[in-house]
Structure 1
Amino acid sequence: MFSFQAGMRVAARAARQACPRTSNNPSFYSKHLPRFQSRSFASRYSRFGEKPGGGSQQQQQKQWSNFGPVYRAQYIWRNYQRPLMVVGAGGGVFYVYNLEEVPVTHRRRFNVLSPSSENEFFGGPEQYNAVLNEFRGKVLPTDHPLTVQVARVVEKLLPTTRGLGGDDWRVHVIDDPEQKNAFVMPGGKVFVFSGILPICQDENGLAAVLGHEIAHNVAHHAAERASRSSFVLLATVAVSFLFDVSGQFANSVSGLILSLPNSRTQEAEADHIGLLMMAEACYDPKAALDFWGRMKKAEQFEPPQFISTHPSNYNRAEQIKKWLPDAERIYADTGCGSTSRYLTGFKDALSTKQPGAQGQVSPQRPVVSRRKDEDDDFF
């Protein structure tokens, strides 16, 4: 018995030496057992044109974002990738095909409306009559001194309008001392509010106003705004979907990003073109700079530029200073003499201003007007 127990003890000792206890050897499992590796589930989506199983594992795996807007963008892209690429390519070709240069400034812009379509949509008989009805009883007669004076400035600017001479130009002055505005509808319908005339002071100042407003027609800004409206609509839909917000908020964001900057660009462009036009028509271009100084003092409140359709008065004056040398060169090249003879006539017209009833509009006189819901056309 003793020899059997001794033999068992020897055998156990030999076994321990051959195979040490795992509790005393932590590396046992790492050496003899396979390690469990966690792996994330690969998305069932693959990149466009990628063959199943091709590429590295990291390229095949696509994670979904927890951020709502990014997640929605991923969803659209992964499920509608091919249609988006086709529509994007077609839209890019259409956009490039319809690019054109703005007269005078040579700015490249997108526009799909012809000048005739612009006149029909924004300056046709229906729109024109709507403006006349809106200000019925306030439009001064055609033989009123103020109307005659405004028509005289318009007639001097017409040779500089570059392609608009064939329009049916008509001029109206609206007796509203509170309104410091003017506008020109496509097709040559000019409207001037009497409230801006004291700020103009003379025909040079009035030429700065009318040159700016007519320049909007020269550059066909109404057609450009209508053409760009499709991009604003697409941006509104995209913002509304990605950020899950109401259409009104999305429209405000799209306007702040797309519409307002473009409107300020158009206003600055009209300042530039109008400055050159008034110089070519023998009106002193320095008067535009003086006018904006008076306009700044006359305005009681000016909103921040980034939420306005117009550049600030200060920025407009600074830009005019940069364009002034070119305008003065044109003014000198045209051989224009002193324009002082215009000052007396204009001041006399202001002093004899008598509001009267609306009269018949001469087909050869322009009309300047502005609608309350079209802020881009306000001066």
Structure 2
Amino acid sequence: MRKFASLTFILIAIFLIQCSSVPMSDRSQLSLISNDKIFPMSFEQYEQVKRESKIVTGTDEARMVKRVGTRIQRAVEQYFNDQGQGNYLADYQWEFNLIKNDSTVNAWCMPGGKVAFYTGIMPICKDELGVAVVMGHEIAHAIANHGRERISQGYAAQFGLSAVSIILTGGSGGPSIPAELIMQGAGAATSLGILAFSRKHESEADKLGLYFMAMAGYNPQEAPKFWERMSANSGGEAPPEFVSTHPSHDTRIADLKANMPKAMEYYKASN
């Protein structure tokens, strides 16, 4: 029993060491694998998605996605520079693409800043402000390193104690990360075991995304309106919150309104 207790203590200590903090949130998050290992795999997976999809170019919607993404990206980079944390984003390689898929109402962001919108979400976005709501949310996932956190959790669950080898080698050893975990880290896949964890990510991305769009000069008061449209589009068919990877529309709207005063401070400062 003593040996088991000692091993347990060591493992807990190692996992605590391998934690980082989410910017602007200070929430501790699991970080078993370094960005140096995750980002190149993420970028490769994104290129594969592009090869297998029809990327929309030359349209007003495609230009809007790129324009809004770049504008929020630059505002966030400026914020981090002003905070003396410019190096935090040094390895990010931002890219914003629109994928032709009218039946998919979704957008996602790979670890490291690779964003994809599907054409199915554009009617709900309606205009540039709506795109900014979704874009801020997706960029927030990248900035908060939710992908790395999801992959770390998925890796630990899939390989068990072999994850310790990743910790001890700083992410340079151990088996390779499956592509499915990379996609899961982008929010493009899910499993029942991480539902509550994903809701935490979504709520955090809603909050930070609200701030990021405001920093870029987009009125954050549009965010609740977007989710009202999303709720209307679902036609009441959304699953109960306790079996969903996302907070309910009502929860999101209430949380956004609660965070609105701080967001408006960023918005006024941007002007």
Which category of TM-score, normalised to the shorter sequence, fits these structures? 0.7 to 0.9
Q: Does the 8 Å CA contact 2:43/2:114 hold for their aligned counterparts?
A: no
Choose 143-152 or 200-209, whichever is displaced more: 143-152
Q: Which has the larger radius of gyration?
A: 1
Partner Cα distance (1:226, 1:140) in 2? 29
Q: Does the 8 Å CA contact 1:158/1:164 hold for their aligned counterparts?
A: no
Task: State the match for 1:268 in structure 2.
Answer: 203
Relative to structure 1, is the Cα distance of residues 166 and 158 closer, same or farther in structure 2, using a 3 angstrom cutoff? farther
Partner Cα distance (1:200, 1:165) in 2? 30
TM alignment of 1:50-129, pairs within 5 A: 81-121=1-41, 123-125=42-44, 127-129=45-47
Task: State the match for 2:89 in structure 1.
Answer: 164
CA-to-partner distance for each residue in 1:256-308, whole Å, 9 max, x for gaps? 5x511111101111111100000000000011110000000001310111111
Q: Does the 8 Å CA contact 1:232/1:259 hold for their aligned counterparts?
A: no
Amino acid at match of 1:117: K
Q: Does the 8 Å CA contact 1:154/1:210 hold for their aligned counterparts?
A: yes
Identity between Structure 1 and Structure 2 (%): 34
Hey, which bits of structure 1, 4+ residues long, moved more than 4 A? none
CA-to-partner distance for each residue in 1:326-366, whole Å, 9 max, x for gaps? 0011111222xxxxxxxxxxxxxxxxxxxxxxxxxxxxxxx
Relative to structure 1, is the Cα distance of residues 234 and 130 closer, same or farther in structure 2, using a 3 angstrom cutoff? closer
Q: Does the 8 Å CA contact 1:111/1:223 hold for their aligned counterparts?
A: yes
Q: Helix, strand or coil for the counterpart of 2:56? A: coil
**CA apart distance, 1:118:** 2.3
TM-score (norm 1): 0.57
In structure 1, runs of 5+ residues without a counterpart are 1-80, 236-254, 336-379
CA-to-partner distance for each residue in 1:195-230, whole Å, 9 max, x for gaps? 111111111111000110111110111111122235
For these two proteins, the number of residue pairs brought into alignment is: 230
Alignment of 1:130 with 2:65, yes or no, is no
Amino acid at match of 2:55: V
CA-to-partner distance for each residue in 1:164-222, whole Å, 9 max, x for gaps? 36533222211222111111222332211111111111111110001101111101111
Relative to structure 1, is the Cα distance of residues 165 and 197 closer, same or farther in structure 2, using a 3 angstrom cutoff? farther
Amino acid at match of 2:247: P
Choose 261-270 or 143-152, whichever is displaced more: 143-152
Q: Helix, strand or coil for the counterpart of 1:295? A: helix
Q: Helix, strand or coil for the counterpart of 2:259? A: helix
TM-score (norm 2): 0.79
Q: Does the 8 Å CA contact 1:171/1:190 hold for their aligned counterparts?
A: yes
Partner Cα distance (2:126, 2:2) in 1? 62
